Chain A
């Protein structure tokens, strides 16, 4: 018996808008769906019962200020508890960029959105289906052909105590266009949200993507970023996960056109009893695709990480280059890491590698640093930072990297060797 699943189905029946034809299909799947249990492979280590324990309030305070990111000069789209906040969002858009809300999309936005909605995100994501049927607000972002948008677009989803929200983002990069998109999730009090984004990256377009899944404590956050890459399209994605009572991200990348390039860097840092679960799937459906996926994390105290990274190389995806690497640093004997890198290869002329390591903090390095006068905790913060800094340095946007560093350091300072 499940309240959240039943409740989603019940409420979905009252949702009626221009997306309804698409929502119907997802609702049908949802009606057949079962609540994941320990035996459900995709949720084996991640219990979802916490969702039923959130007291969702219909009257949540929505007057919260979202902090801007200094020097980022971003186009901000702010959603508070799932609802667009025009006052905190940017009103002026650079040329070549069209942004509309789900609720007031015009005919041309609807036309492309209908073809993208739920077509890039695979149906197997249960909470993706929940988002399909319940997300009534969100952003449709359309970048015109050949246009390079210099300002990053920052989509903030902030949740307050007692809120439940479902937001959807659809992004279309027309051929040879270029844009950076930041998905930022905020709010650490008891709340429940699903946030899914679908990206259609056309031929030769370049997408710089960030997802900051940095909600901690009581926030239950489930979502995904899903990408469809056209010929010679480029994706450079950075995902930061902090973990909370329940934090789950699904990432899917489909190489639909040949010679596409996908780089994905993931950093997760967990403390206390936090949980972070990342499932990523890369589909190489066509030849000459390249994927570089680097996932690194540090897990302290009683925290738990689940990483399932799958690269699937289809029969005709010859000349694929794919690498998947997961490195973990375990800070305590009570921390838990469940990692499962998977390569599934049906083509015979490919170059692929995958691996996962779990290590403890290097005692020799700690001593070396202490022997220079650094305290053990200082040394530890430095070592930890060194472990992930390589990925931070690779962030294409250095303003974001600078903004992120002190947050990561603050996290490290909390973590204790156990």
Chain B
């Protein structure tokens, strides 16, 4: 773990609602470069909402609080600007886009981000080489590059496809929203290895999961429990084991 004083993501007392329903209720979290944070918690606690609010999904309204990435206000940016600033959300339910090839979509995404950084776009050949390597790394057949984005993919294939996008986009902050759900043990290892291969001194991860299982493969620096819209407990990796054994009830009761 880095002992940097710099903060990559700083969420301060964030409250947000969806369709008039308050979901996040004063959530605070700091993530430093290179750290891996796991967020666990009961259904409906706001785990997915956090990812949507940070990535700028329409309909998720921030009521109060702040969130900055590298000191820049995230909440004022359009969704694409947040992505270009280095935020990546691996969706729990990736969207199918028939007719748009995976390769074309990823090339356009990478190009858009490079352009925003003032870099020249990659040639088709260069990108294809990178995409093939990423595709192999997540253990998907190369034919998936030609297929429509997530079109007809199984749940596990979609999760791996998200990971492939992450490998190509090289974000600063990766939020993985239940990237382990619906995966068998082999696929879980592929996802974990993919994440581990991307761990660097600068890149941080927020791993949203229900299960300790994934954390056997991706060792978190911190584990947080998110319940009723805020983080009610933080600890190290051992907290996840405790939660696995005892569930959340003992924590939420204490809260109440």
A316 at the interface (CB under 8 A from B): no
B10 at the interface (CB under 8 A from A): no
A378 touches B112 (CB 8 A): yes
A387–B99 CA distance with the chains assembled, in angstroms:
6
Q: Restricting to B56-74, which residues have a CB under 8 Å from any CB of A?
A: 56-58
B100 touches A371 (CB 8 A): no
For residue A89, give the distance in angstroms from its CB to the closest CB of chain B: 37
For residue A118, give the distance in angstroms from its CB to the closest CB of chain B: 40
A370 touches B80 (CB 8 A): yes
A386 at the interface (CB under 8 A from B): yes
- Per-residue A-contact encoding for B87-119, CB less than 8 Å = 1, 0 else: 011010011111110001110111011001000
Q: In this complex, which of A367, A387, A388 has the most chain B Cβ atoms within 10 angstroms of its Cβ?
A: A367
A374 touches B99 (CB 8 A): no
For residue B77, give the distance in angstroms from its CB to the closest CB of chain A: 11
Q: Restricting to A343-392, which residues have a CB under 8 Å from any CB of B?
A: 362-365, 367-376, 378-379, 382-383, 385-390
B79 at the interface (CB under 8 A from A): yes
A368 touches B99 (CB 8 A): no
User: Closest chain B residue to A391 by CB distance?
Assistant: B99
A368 touches B97 (CB 8 A): yes
- Per-residue B-contact encoding for A378-415, CB less than 8 Å = 1, 0 else: 11001101111110000000000000000000000000
B169 touches A370 (CB 8 A): no
> Which residues does chain B contribute within 8 Å of A382, judged by CB atoms?
97, 100, 104-105, 108
> Which residues does chain A contribute within 8 Å of B104, judged by CB atoms?
382
A368–B100 CA distance with the chains assembled, in angstroms:
13
A151–B155 CA distance with the chains assembled, in angstroms:
47
B100 touches A383 (CB 8 A): yes
A372 touches B99 (CB 8 A): no
B83 touches A370 (CB 8 A): yes
> Which residues does chain A contribute within 8 Å of B116, judged by CB atoms?
373
- Per-residue A-contact encoding for B104-142, CB less than 8 Å = 1, 0 else: 111011101100100000000000000000000000000
A367 touches B169 (CB 8 A): no
B97 touches A369 (CB 8 A): yes
Chain A residues within 8 Å of chain B by Cβ, number: 24
A388–B110 CA distance with the chains assembled, in angstroms:
24
A92–B11 CA distance with the chains assembled, in angstroms:
73
B236 at the interface (CB under 8 A from A): no
A372 touches B58 (CB 8 A): no
B100 touches A367 (CB 8 A): no
> Which residues does chain A contribute within 8 Å of B108, judged by CB atoms?
374, 378, 382
User: Closest chain A residue to B150 by CB distance?
Assistant: A368
A371 touches B55 (CB 8 A): yes
> Which residues does chain A contribute within 8 Å of B201, judged by CB atoms?
none
B109 touches A390 (CB 8 A): no
For residue B165, give the distance in angstroms from its CB to the closest CB of chain A: 6
Q: In this complex, which of A363, A383, A386 has the most chain B Cβ atoms within 10 angstroms of its Cβ?
A: A386
User: Closest chain B residue to A390 by CB distance?
Assistant: B99
A389's partner among B88, B95, B99, B112 (CB-CB below 8 A) is B99
A408–B95 CA distance with the chains assembled, in angstroms:
24
B57 touches A373 (CB 8 A): no
A389–B97 CA distance with the chains assembled, in angstroms:
12
Q: With A367-B57, A367-B58 in contact, do A372 and B98 touch (Cβ < 8 Å)?
A: no
User: Closest chain B residue to A370 by CB distance?
Assistant: B79
B100 touches A372 (CB 8 A): no
B79 touches A386 (CB 8 A): no
> Which residues does chain B contribute within 8 Å of A376, judged by CB atoms?
78, 80
B91's partner among A368, A374, A383 (CB-CB below 8 A) is A368
A382–B103 CA distance with the chains assembled, in angstroms:
12
A374 touches B112 (CB 8 A): yes
A371-B83, A371-B91 given; 15 more Cβ-contact pairs under 8 Å: A367-B58, A368-B97, A369-B109, A371-B80, A371-B82, A372-B105, A372-B112, A372-B169, A373-B84, A373-B116, A374-B112, A382-B97, A385-B99, A386-B99, A386-B100
Can you list 18 A-B contacts (CB < 8 A)?
Answer: A368-B94, A371-B55, A371-B82, A371-B88, A372-B105, A372-B112, A373-B83, A373-B84, A374-B80, A374-B109, A375-B112, A376-B78, A378-B112, A379-B80, A382-B97, A383-B100, A386-B99, A388-B99
